Amino acid sequence: MDARTIIFYLLAATVIGGGLMAVTSRKIFRSAVFLLFSLIGIAGFYFFLDQEFIAAVQVVVYVGGIVVLILFSIFLTHGSGEDMKKPALGRAVFSALAAAIGCVLTMYLISEHTFQGSGKPALEPSAGNIGAQMLSVTEYGFILPFEVVSMLLLAAMIGCIVIAIKVKVPEQKVMPKIKEETEPVELEVVEELKTEEV
């Protein structure tokens, strides 16, 4: 049993243990923290495979982005500090069954599948190589997924802005600073509201 095996099992225990604790914990904030450990364990696997770039991206996206987002939503949810109710026995049994069947199916597929190496020499994962591959249009280039993901993110961003746009209500007119910053279009809205009140 060499050091690599020990590290592998430690990481695997972190990932699986964190995942199990995340779904079984009665406190929702703790669940999010255990999910964090699980995701960090996966980043650890990428470091273990010498893919530092993917590992850092895993930490930035999942830990720095998604878990923080989850924590913020927990902060803003009413009554999220209380312990969650125990689920009914029937539901618990069927969830466990679904999880077990999914696990067995995945393991069966992985054990049946024969993985073939590409045979090509591995590229050095330097920033320059990663950037070139990301924007490359050749056979193993990633320009299409890159552009699709950027379109998706752009659409999400525009959606966020549309949701977050505020229509100014008359009460806010007492603050002079906001009045200055109001766009001409929104000023019209304010005036409309005022006439309606009159």
Partner 1 sequence: MSLFLEISFSAMANGLHNWLAGSISNATLVSVTEMAIAGVSLLLFLVPLCFFLGYMERKVAAFMQIRLGPNRVGPKGTLQIVADTVKLLFKEGLTPNASDKFLFNLAPIIVVVTSMLAMAPIAFAKNFQIWDINIGVLYVSAISSLAVIGILMAGWSSYNKYSLLGAMRSGAQIVSYELSVGLSLISIVILTGSLRMSDIVASQADGWWIIKGHIPVIISFVIFLIASTAEINRAPFDLAEAEQELTAGFHTEYSGMKFAMFLLAEYINLFIVSAIAATLFLGGWMPFHLGNWSFFNNVMDYIPGSLWFMGKTFLIIFIIMQFRWTFPRLRVDQLLTLEWKYLLPISMVNVIIVTMMAIFGWHL
Pick the closer one to partner 1 by CB: 110 or 162.
Answer: 162
Dihedral of alpha carbons 182, 72, 57, 159, sign:
negative
The overall longest dimension of the chain from CA atoms, in Å, is 83
Pick the closer one to partner 1 by CB: 71 or 190.
Answer: 71
Do 130 and 141 meet the contact criterion of CB atoms below 8 Å apart? no
CB of 196 to partner 1, least distance (A): 29
Binding residues for partner 1, rule: CB under 8 A, are 2-3, 27, 29-30, 33, 36, 52-53, 56-57, 59-60, 63-65, 67-68, 71-72, 74-75, 81, 125-128
CB of 58 to partner 1, least distance (A): 8
Pick the closer one to partner 1 by CB: 95 or 126.
Answer: 126
Pick the closer one to partner 1 by CB: 112 or 124.
Answer: 124
* Distance between CA atoms of residues 111 and 103, nearest Å: 12
**CB-CB neighbours of 95 under 10 Å:** 12
Pick the closer one to partner 1 by CB: 82 or 196.
Answer: 82
CB of 36 to partner 1, least distance (A): 6
Do 83 and 27 meet the contact criterion of CB atoms below 8 Å apart? yes
* Distance between CA atoms of residues 190 and 174, nearest Å: 12
CB of 76 to partner 1, least distance (A): 8
DSSP letter at 67 equals: I
Q: Which of 10, 37, 44 is nearest to 21 (CA)?
A: 37
CB of 14 to partner 1, least distance (A): 14
If you search the block for the tokens 């696990």, which residue do you land on?
103
